[in-house]
Structure 1
Amino acid sequence: MVRRVATDAPQDASPALAAPPAVTARALLPLIVPSLLVGVAAALVLLGVSALAERLQDVLWETLPDALGVGAHSSLWMIAMLTATGCAVGLVVWRVPGHAGPDPATTGLVDPPVPAGVVPGLLLATVLGLAGGVSLGPENPITAANIAFAYWLGRRALPGVPGALWLSLAAAGTIGALFGTPVAAALILSETLTGRPGPGRLWDKLFGPLVAAGAGALTTMLIAHPTFDIALPAYPGPGWGDVLAALVISSVGALLAMAAVYAFPYVHAAFRRLKHPVLMGTCGGLLLGLLGALGGYLTLFKGLDEVKTLTADPAGHSAGQLALMTVVKLAALTLASACGFRGGRIFPAVFAGVALGLCAHALVPGVHPTLAVVCGVLGVLLAVTRQGWLSLFTAAVLVADPGVLPLLCVATLPAWLLVTGRPQMQLQEDGAPLR
């Protein structure tokens, strides 16, 4: 009986379940040079924009307040600077050709190419937002800019190559550069390429993007030496109590972030009523400044450097302060994304998750801070990005400890059940949330 079932199985198998044929090496080899070029260029664009933003940030938050005799961390300066930043970004959106791209509330991490003429305004608005203290990261606009450049140049240099390939290469190169590893790009693109038509297995489709991601990651590592290690205490290994803690913290993170997701379309609609981009940006900047005054200086900016400051002294803030930072950062992320600032949501979400995890440790000291932080980041990212691999990878890469991986995989399950099928933090053109 067993032999007969095994013999009959291939005959009854559905063709849809059959593995697609592999692509030959001869077909993949021509992808190497374009992939390398796109990956290196994507990393250089990211590094250039980041360096420019950091220099401008030094001027705005150190040189200028020192010259005026005003404390950069004072509430007055935060409110004034973020209001001015909102006004400046609004002027770019209003007057610069291309209007800095589409409404950021309607865009994701990897989108179809925008016209190349949009890119200068998009990058200018991004630099102003990053330097001015807006709670958004560089990932979305930099990825959009690199996709636009790669698509525009690639279609002219090699018109016979499908346009979708240039999109994948630019996205992979940027993501690899952002995280300093091609693994992040492989995980994210595996979610988008699995169902894409075309010959070859998944790894055949990932061949070019992985080359671009590796080139982007190596370029960033060799030039800037980035690190995501936030220097948390070593995790001793899972215990029975850790399982419950992981489930609870990731679920709470997902629920808190989902509150921001549900508020997002209403906040966006309120700003749309202002109609003029300068008015929207100025009012948004003023509100972000007030949130910064409430939550403190650490709740400003994209959040990656601020996370390292926060975790350098896990016991330096009370549970109440950490809870306030979590809520303020999520509110600032929602507000900045809704009022027209150009930027990504991954790094601010990471800060909110870290603050939530440290809050959980402060409330229950028996919960290890490393476990609490990675589970908080996991839950918040799942709700904000709705990308499982990205969330799991980002949470794991914050600590160089494989002991947290089994618990993170378990903690993903209830958090994913809370967010899947629900509105996303991305809107359609008519203002309705994506699902």
Structure 2
Amino acid sequence: MADVDASGAHQSGTGGAQGLGAVLRSRAYVRLLLLSALLGVPVSLASFAFISLEHELQHAVWESLPDALGMKAAPWWWPLLTLTLAGLLLAPIVTRMAGKGGHIPVQGLGGPPIGPKAVPGVVLAALVCLPLGVVLGPEAPLMGLGSGLALLALQYGSRYGKRHGEQGNDPQHAVVLGAAGSTAAISTIFGSPIVAVVMTLEAAGIGGPSLVALLLPCLLASGIGALVFTGFGNFTGLEIGALSLPSVPTAMAPDTGDFLWGIPLAVLIAVVVFCAHTLGRYVVAWTARRTALRTVACAIAAGVCITAYALVTGRTPEEAALSGQATLASLAGQPHAWPVAVLAALVLFKGVAWGICLGSLRGGPIFPGMLIGAALGIAFGGLPGFGMAAGLAVGLAASCSANTRLPVTSTVLATLLLGKDARDAVPLMIIASVVALVTTELLRARFASPSAASTSSTSSTSSTRASAA
């Protein structure tokens, strides 16, 4: 296949069009597109199996087991047991298995590609962390699963080609196909391939023919994968676990008050997210030595935070544990049922637990951050001239932007979550995303340690980062 590198971003006019045409007409690229389309099916099925199993385990730990023990709900001390168990099970994975269970969450969704040999460790780490209450999401393990399966398919394809006298694969094939696999996998949990593709494009930072050459395999793999994922979920009746908000506050066109309150709220959310990431970076440095013991200690510390939330509020610890998908849906559906004091406790205790988990355990960084942003938005929604709908919109967009440093992706994701009521709020979400990103960058420049650059929270696939190199 013709080279797909960043130089394509500098091509324009007829030369750029001819370069793109040469890429699209090449037999190698056509085979890559076909492989990407075929790849969407096994990646989506593997993602379906992973998400379904994770949800079943989560239901067993937090609902079935307490019920079997004669409890109406998980008691306040439950997270101390589950998080301790998570740390004990994760410690040998991160110290002995290939790939160390995946990337450290505070480092973002980028980093070196997850190879096939590391996939078992990534999946196992996620299955011992997420159902037991670790304050992280499933998006990073899904991307690792998709990338690993894609590279495995490429390895088998390369061996088959060599046996039939064909030349070895272009190194760019691994980059593009890894991006396609990760995009297909993460599109299943975001509920739409659009979010995953936009994330890939924004993170890649390339243009011209290079952008199109990367885009097409990702679109094919994620589109077909999402179709198979949703259809298989409907066929089996199992919960597919895609992020969604079944009910949201009634929205109205934002007015001056929404913008006057929304901008400082976006700044506050960015500060909270930055503090959590800073805590995560300190935890990374602390767990670099005596990793097994300190991983367990961090898991216990996260459990203490969740337990403290339950004791202070008198509510179920499940609200502060886990990725936050269920709590986010509850918060958006019934915002007036959440007192401001409870929301403040949720932001404090879940925020600290999230920061600890970001630097020590395994999972994705996005979902808990969105819950914290939504909680702050709802808490401030009662201010005069503001509203619950506007607060939720600002909270979702600003938290995702500060967390991922991808403002376009954040706006698109928040828009899809809010559904038909999001159209009028789009300008407010765009401004919130930009304000949160600028605030985060200013804070990083002012307070972040030099090592923070190496743990940059860039929410991209490993392959898209490589493609921009």
Aligned counterpart, 1:249? 265
Mind listing any 5+ residue stretches in structure 2 that lack a counterpart?
A: 1-8, 159-167, 234-239, 311-316, 458-469
Give, in angstroms, the shift of residue 116 of structure 1.
Answer: 1.9
Summarize the Cα distance change of 1:227–1:264 in structure 2 as closer, same or farther, 3 Å threshold.
closer
Listed as ranges, the matches of 1:167-206 within 5 Å are: 167-195=178-206, 200=209, 202-206=211-215
User: 2:212 aligned with 1:212, yes or no?
Assistant: no
Aligned counterpart, 1:5? none
Give, in angstroms, the shift of residue 368 of structure 1.
Answer: 1.7
Aligned counterpart, 1:260? 276
In 2: Cα distance, 1:110 partner to 1:103 partner: 8
In 2: Cα distance, 1:165 partner to 1:16 partner: 19
Report if aligned partners of 2:106, 2:280 keep a CA contact under 8 Å in 1: no
Deviations along 1:314-359, one digit per CA (max 9) or x if unpaired, are: 11121121022122222122111212x2100111111111111111
Give the secondary structure class of the aligned counterpart of 2:418: coil
In 1: Cα distance, 2:17 partner to 2:211 partner: 10
Deviations along 1:260-289, one digit per CA (max 9) or x if unpaired, are: 22222222223334x141x22321221111
Listed as ranges, the matches of 1:17-416 within 5 Å are: 18-19=12-13, 20-21=16-17, 23-24=20-21, 25-27=24-26, 29-70=30-71, 72-95=73-96, 97-98=97-98, 100-101=100-101, 104-105=104-105, 107-158=107-158, 159-161=168-170, 162-195=173-206, 200=209, 202-224=211-233, 226=242, 228-273=244-289, 275-277=290-292, 279-296=293-310, 297=317, 298-339=319-360, 341-362=361-382, 364=383, 366-400=385-419, 401=421, 402-416=423-437
Give, in angstroms, the shift of residue 235 of structure 1.
Answer: 0.9
Mind listing any 5+ residue stretches in structure 1 that lack a counterpart?
A: 1-14
Deviations along 1:137-174, one digit per CA (max 9) or x if unpaired, are: 11112211221221132133044252112112112212
In 2: Cα distance, 1:234 partner to 1:418 partner: 29
Summarize the Cα distance change of 1:359–1:414 in structure 2 as closer, same or farther, 3 Å threshold.
same
Deviations along 1:333-388, one digit per CA (max 9) or x if unpaired, are: 2111212x2100111111111111111114x1642211101211222222221112
Letter in 1 for 2:151: Y
Report if aligned partners of 2:80, 2:303 keep a CA contact under 8 Å in 1: yes
Summarize the Cα distance change of 1:155–1:21 in structure 2 as closer, same or farther, 3 Å threshold.
farther
Letter in 2 for 1:156: Y
Summarize the Cα distance change of 1:268–1:227 in structure 2 as closer, same or farther, 3 Å threshold.
closer
Report if aligned partners of 1:238, 1:407 keep a CA contact under 8 Å in 2: yes
In 1: Cα distance, 2:328 partner to 2:425 partner: 19
In 1: Cα distance, 2:408 partner to 2:308 partner: 33
Letter in 2 for 1:354: A
Q: Which protein has greater RCO, CA pairs closer than 8 Å, 6+ apart?
A: 2
Aligned counterpart, 1:8? none
Give the secondary structure class of the aligned counterpart of 1:75: coil
Aligned counterpart, 1:434? 456
Higher helix share: 2
Letter in 2 for 1:312: G
Letter in 1 for 2:286: A
Report if aligned partners of 1:115, 1:148 keep a CA contact under 8 Å in 2: yes
Q: Point out the more displaced range, 297-306 or 31-40.
A: 31-40
Deviations along 1:274-311, one digit per CA (max 9) or x if unpaired, are: x141x223212211111111224201111112211222
In 1: Cα distance, 2:357 partner to 2:214 partner: 35
Tell me the TM-score normalized by structure 1.
0.86
Give, in angstroms, the shift of residue 181 of structure 1.
Answer: 1.8
Letter in 1 for 2:17: P
Report if aligned partners of 1:377, 1:395 keep a CA contact under 8 Å in 2: yes
In 2: Cα distance, 1:94 partner to 1:410 partner: 43
Tell me the TM-score normalized by structure 2.
0.81
In 2: Cα distance, 1:128 partner to 1:352 partner: 23
Give the secondary structure class of the aligned counterpart of 2:351: helix
Give the secondary structure class of the aligned counterpart of 1:353: helix
Summarize the Cα distance change of 1:101–1:85 in structure 2 as closer, same or farther, 3 Å threshold.
closer
Aligned counterpart, 1:6? none
Summarize the Cα distance change of 1:430–1:356 in structure 2 as closer, same or farther, 3 Å threshold.
closer
Letter in 2 for 1:285: A
In 1: Cα distance, 2:433 partner to 2:139 partner: 23
In 2: Cα distance, 1:294 partner to 1:26 partner: 60
Taking only the aligned residue pairs, the percentage that are identical comes to 25
In 1: Cα distance, 2:95 partner to 2:339 partner: 43
Report if aligned partners of 2:115, 2:151 keep a CA contact under 8 Å in 1: no
Report if aligned partners of 2:102, 2:121 keep a CA contact under 8 Å in 1: no
| C-alpha RMSD of matched pairs (Å) | 2.7
In 1: Cα distance, 2:195 partner to 2:452 partner: 32
